[in-house]
Structure 1
Amino acid sequence: MTYQEQLAFARAFGLLTEQLILDGVIHRTGTTSKPRSRNGWYLGFEQPPFLMVGDWQTGQQDIFKGNGSVTSESIEQQRQITTQITQLRRKRQSAATEQANRIYSGAMDVISHPYLIDKRISQVNGLRSHSGLLLVPLYDLSVGNDALVNIQQIAANGQKRFIAGGRVQGTCFPIGLSGFNGAGEVYIAEGVATAVTVSQLTLRPTLAAMNANNLTHVAQLAKQLWPQVEIVIAADDDYLTELDKGINPGQEKALQAARMVGGKVSTPPFTAAQREAGLTDWNDYQNSQEGAA
Structure 2
Amino acid sequence: MRTVFPYATLAGEVQIEVTGASLDGRSQPLHMISRQEHAVALHENERPDWREARLELRATLPERELASGPWTDVRCFAVVTEGATNTRTVGRLFRDTPGEDWRGSVNLARELHRRRADLQLVVSATVDGVGGRVIGSGERSWIVDLTTRTPVRPRDLNISEVDFRDPEHAWLNPFKDAPWLVETTGGDLPTVYLNLAFEGLKELLDTGGTPVERALRGTVAAQIAAEAWTAMFHSAIGELEVDDDGTPQWPGGWRDSVLRVMLPDVYPDLLPADALFEVHSSRADGSGWHELQSRIQYAASRRARVAKTLGTAIRTLDRPEGARA
TM-score of the alignment, normalized to the shorter chain, above 0.5: no
- TM-score, structure 1 length as denominator? 0.26
Q: What is the TM-score when the length of structure 2 is the normalising length?
A: 0.25
Higher percent of residues as strand: 2
